[in-house]
Structure 1
Amino acid sequence: MYAVCKTDIGQVRSSNQDICRCGTFSDGSAWTVVCDGMGGVNGGNIASSVACDAICKAITENYTPDMEEDAVRDIMLHAINDANAAVLHRAQEDPALNGMGTTVVVSIAAGGVLHIAHAGDSRCYLKTALGVKQVTTDHSFVQQLVESGAITEDEARVHPQRNLITRVVGVHPEVECDYGCYKFEPGDLALSCTDGLSNYLERDTLLLFISNYQGEELADELIRYANSKGGSDNVTVAVIENR
């Protein structure tokens, strides 16, 4: 497995509230973490950083080679709960940070399986021999409108309330996150990103990039693409390749 992650401030924002980390385990498995903070410049930066630190610590300390699938799921969900508690605790220490939070998408590729846990509107896409599909569902107001048939996916991409998310890490005592697992065979690729990329991205466009680039170059080119479209938000990309 190969993992890489990149983040960029974009063309408009004065600070980068996104953060990402990635790595590999001793058995060759790989992991990525992507967070997109909210709650003002300082609050967003702190929430995403605190959450990412907590998740990375929980994953790297508790993962062991050849874990059962249920055990991988459990450490991911516990890691996000740890992150939720850590962000809440940090906000309680400083009232100015009250209400800060972050999206989270965590990926672990191990034993031919891709595990995904997420909360918020940061996404994960999976590329297989059959093409590219989005394997997370945005926890957002506009996604609810799409599911109800009120607007289309294209309309959601430019909706004025597209930044309203319905699940977030660090705001409430309990956080609800989704989990899914998928076959991850040689040649497959998982790509996690913040909405700074996904707001500009259609699946055919993503497939085109994946077909022409890989690894660090793929991340760089996708960030360049988002910035060429306006770069209205921070842009973060994390990739796991089953090479």
Structure 2
Amino acid sequence: MTLTLRSTILSDPGLVRSNNEDAGIAGDRLLAVADGMGGLPAGEVASEIVIGILAEVAPPAAPEAAQAMLRAAISTANNQIRAAIGADPERDGMGTTVTAAILAGAELVLAQVGDSRCYLLRDGRLRQLTRDDTFVQELVDQGILTPEQARRHPQRSLVTRAVQGHDAPPAIAVLTLAAGDRLLLCSDGLSDYVDDTAIATTLSGYPDRQQCAEQLVKLAHQAGAPDNVTVALADVDGSGDDETTQTVVTPGG
């Protein structure tokens, strides 16, 4: 069976910020979300760099090649961000998260730096496939905080790793997908303010991808939406139909 992704992406500045530093891609074999680091200069430049690099590559069909491609793309992004900082020292400190997924055959290859997440909905059950690179996640891992306490912690958005112009190899994961699976990649503008139960209910309750994405953003708005919100949503299809599509969202949109 040939699998493909039927995907959509929606990015919203939220209700507080005047600009949107998020960027992303939704294609038939590639999904990615990048969140320019809030509070640091030129975060939108950093997120656009990494998404621009990913948008130019042809996703490999073999999982091992997909892993190598994602590592290389993130390394190139670090080099370009370092060069951008060198050309304009006022950009020193800019960076971005990135979570990217390639469908290689029946395998999903995930690469992550930062706290943009990937979720899998299968048979009505939601599973977080990525681990946040954040200060509060380290406290959860140590048993100091519960996941619920981490959600309310004032430093929940403090990332410990980002694509900032220095070596930051991504965490890589590979898992087997099946037709009927639903994937969600999102920036922390969703996951910090909408809990997993509400996300699962929405992913299960809205078969139409665009309506589902709009509802997820609506939930972020209802929670105050103090941050940019980006959701890339894909259904895993086993029909084998060939359909080459790709939507790229750049910062400011």
TM over 0.5: yes
Contact 1:15 1:41 in 2 (8 A): no
- Aligned mates of 1:237, 1:170 — CA distance in 2: 22
1:179 aligns with 2:172: yes
1:32 partner letter: L
1:84 aligns with 2:78: yes
Give the aligned partner of residue 97 of structure 2. 103
Higher helix share: 1
| TM-fit CA distance, 1:170 | 2.0
Contact 1:39 1:97 in 2 (8 A): no
- Aligned mates of 1:160, 1:23 — CA distance in 2: 35
Q: 2:21 aligns with which of 17, 20, 26?
A: 17
Say what the alpha-carbon RMSD is for the aligned residues: 1.5
1:73 aligns with 2:70: no
Compared CA separation, residues 36 and 11, structure 1 to 2 (3 A): same
- Aligned mates of 1:127, 1:84 — CA distance in 2: 31
- Aligned mates of 1:147, 1:72 — CA distance in 2: 29
Give the aligned partner of residue 5 of structure 1. 9
SS in structure 1 opposite 2:7?
A: strand
Contact 1:197 1:223 in 2 (8 A): yes
Give the aligned partner of residue 155 of structure 2. 161
1:233 partner letter: D
Compared CA separation, residues 131 and 39, structure 1 to 2 (3 A): closer
**Cα deviation 1:81-140 (Å, max 9, x = unaligned):** 111111111111101101100000001123122111010011000111261100000001
**Cα deviation 1:52-82 (Å, max 9, x = unaligned):** 112222x33xx34xx2211111111111111
Give the aligned partner of residue 205 of structure 1. 198
Contact 1:35 1:194 in 2 (8 A): yes
Identity, % of aligned positions: 36
**Unmatched segments (≥5 aa) in structure 1:** 25-29
**Unmatched segments (≥5 aa) in structure 2:** 238-253
Give the aligned partner of residue 133 of structure 2. 139
Structure with more relative contact order (C-alpha pairs < 8 Å, separation 6 or more): 2
| TM-fit CA distance, 1:40 | 4.2
* Number of matched pairs: 232
- Aligned mates of 2:188, 2:163 — CA distance in 1: 16
Contact 2:24 2:33 in 1 (8 A): yes
Give the aligned partner of residue 33 of structure 1. 32
Give the aligned partner of residue 117 of structure 2. 123
